[in-house]
Structure 1
Amino acid sequence: MAPTISGFDYHRVPVAEGVSLNAAVGGSGTPIVLLHGFPQTHLMWRHVAADLAADHTVICPDLRGYGVSDKPAETGPETYAKRTMAADIVALARALGHERFALAGHDRGALVTIRAGLDHPETITHLASLDVLPTLDMWEVLHGVTAAVGFHLFLMAQPPGLPEQMIAASPDAFFGHFLDIWTNDPQAIPADVRAAYLEACRDAVPSIVADYRASAGIDVAHDQADRDAGNRLRMPVTVLQQDWGAALGFDAAALWSAWAPDLRHTTVSHGHFMAEEAPQQITAELRELLSR
């Protein structure tokens, strides 16, 4: 039996035509939605969600294209644009009775979180991003041989066909590679959870690639339009990330400050999967954000 978040109820919620999301819901109080990253599912929040549920309504969905949420075929760049995926999350929260809510995301989920904050500023009360840069900045800082760390970004940016075929030929090796190299503490992802992640990814190669392909195209265009218009994140923002800037030659806090006037930026020493490696710290940071 696949692992779940203990004490949470599971719902399948329609959010768009032909698209329903799987969501774990627990606790009571002011709402916070937690969005997972790659190559994971909502389970990455299992520790943090259980803690926050003591005094918040916590909603942990599988993103469109991931986990056991629906995986619509990519009919154009909009299918997996972060704008579309952000609209899914707003629709999910409203269907569960929440017109306004806090939003935290890790990795791919953080990109959806950022887009939701820009597109729905009256809906998102607080925003947390774990271990990413905004899409436009990410592509601008990746250059030269140091960009090899993001080889998967370039692979999945290619036109449909080749990346899907290559990844589907050995999905466990591909997705497992990131689970191995992005964690400082392998015990943070136990065998049953790792197996659940790999099974979910194995069944979602086309949609995962489409998500990344959108980030090399339409998502960049949307970010550029916001930058040109001077649009910024109006709500309190907390950013937690590893010190990628030291390796890639950029000042992450400065890049984030351009997007978020009310910013708390913290560099952490944990691996990429920080909500699983250091759940107590991540929970404390989210509680601090919610108090602002």
Structure 2
Amino acid sequence: MLIHSPQADPMTTNELREEPRIPGFTYHHLPVADAGVHLNAAVGGDPDATPVVLLHGFPQTHLMWRHVAQDLAADHHVICPDLRGYGASGKPAETADGQTYAKRTMAADVVALARALGHERFALAGHDRGALVAIRAGLDHPDAVTHLASLDVLPTLDMWDVLRGTTAAIGFHLYLMAQPPGLPERMISADPDAFFGHFLDLWSQSPEAMPADVRAAYLRACREAVPSIVADYRASAFVDVEHDTADRLAGNALRMPVTVLQQDWGAALGFDAEELWRRWAPDLAHRTVSCGHFMAEEAPDEVTAALRELLKR
């Protein structure tokens, strides 16, 4: 893996200028992969402090961490990237083998980004899609990830196992975007704001937690990234399952302290989320929350407190 020094990409400066930003954070567009992929990252806090990388979920960008990131930046070096394929980060074309958007590839991006910013070891928290990237980073790069937090997701292998029968309807988008290239992209592109906005509405219990300008930024970013978002989800139905299965068979696990925050949707679907998680994370702190899916925006104080507790373990 190539390690690069931080440098701004002048082509993206004007693109980012009018977008909402995390106050007090500086923005970088950094090369992280041999193929020339760049990640957009908001960075704040003391560069010499303990590093914490925060990965966003679907259908969002790094902005979802704006409240948590500002709090943590008081005594940590906080790095909030847009994942490959999302936001203002690079969106390489999907390859036939699915590796371009495999969580293994996206996790390698995150490790390279942290190194480019001067950190060989860092704490890592992810929400939704970002949590899947974080899990893969913890499995593939255990020497780099010191602590790991997952917000409102199950590991890929378990996610597919628990979706069955009529209850699988809640994850219809997983099946739609798993289809071969072409159809899902065309269907979603026909009305992307309706598609992505559906999830912003359905999964939120506190709509006021997502201001109009932030919601508009999310929709705009998704509108411009339909092929790469679909490719990310398609990878989770195929190559990511292969990687998780190999780790399960080999007995690999997350050996660092792990915190999981989830809604209590496990009870509604008839499974024990904590039990599933403990197979992957022996050093686990698992708790349910009462807010909606977008917990870093709906309950930022609770999320920040959980992350600070994790970092003390």
User: TM-score surpassing 0.5?
Assistant: yes
1:194 aligns with 215
Moved over 3 A (4+): none
Superposition deviation, residue 138 in structure 1? 0.2
Distance 1:200 1:211 in 2: 15
Q: Secondary structure at the match of 1:282?
A: helix
Aligned with 1:23 (options 19, 33, 41): 41
Q: Establish whether residue 261 from structure 1 lines up as the match of residue 282 from structure 2.
A: yes
Task: Note if 1:4 corresponds to 2:21.
Answer: yes
| Equivalent position of 2:12 in the other structure | none
| Number of aligned residue pairs | 292
C-alpha RMSD of matched pairs (Å): 0.4
Give the Å deviation of 1:75: 1.3
Cα offset for 1:25?
0.3
Residues 1:219 and 2:240 aligned together: yes
Aligned counterparts of 1:218 and 1:135: Cα–Cα separation in 2: 10
Cα shift at 1:192: 0.1
Q: Are 1:56 and 2:76 counterparts?
A: yes
Question: Aligned residue for 1:13?
Answer: 30
Shift of 1:219: 0.2
The CA distance in 1 between the partners of 2:242 and 2:143, in whole Å, is: 22
* Structure 1 residue 2, shift from structure 2 partner: 1.4
Partner residue of 1:37?
A: 57
Instruction: Report the Cα distance in structure 2 between the residues aligned to 1:134 and 1:291, rounded to whole angstroms.
Output: 24
Unaligned runs of 5+ in 1: none
Shift of 1:161: 0.2
Deviation at 1:13, TM superposition (A): 0.5
The corresponding residue for 2:306 is 285
CA–CA distance in structure 1, aligned partners of residues 179 and 268 of structure 2: 26
Distance 2:254 2:76 in 1: 23
- Structure 2: distance between partners of 1:101 and 1:246: 33
Q: How high is the TM-score relative to the length of structure 1? A: 1.00
Partner amino acid for 1:53?
A
Q: Distance in 2 between matches of 1:68 and 1:175?
A: 17
* Equivalent of 1:67 in 87, 92, 111: 87
Q: Percent identity?
A: 80
Provide the C-alpha distance between the structure 2 equivalents of 1:13 and 1:195, rounded to a whole number of angstroms: 25
Deviation at 1:246, TM superposition (A): 1.2
Matched position secondary structure for 1:122: coil
Q: What's the CA shift for 1:180?
A: 0.2
Given residue 148 of structure 2, which amino acid in structure 1 is its aligned partner?
A: L
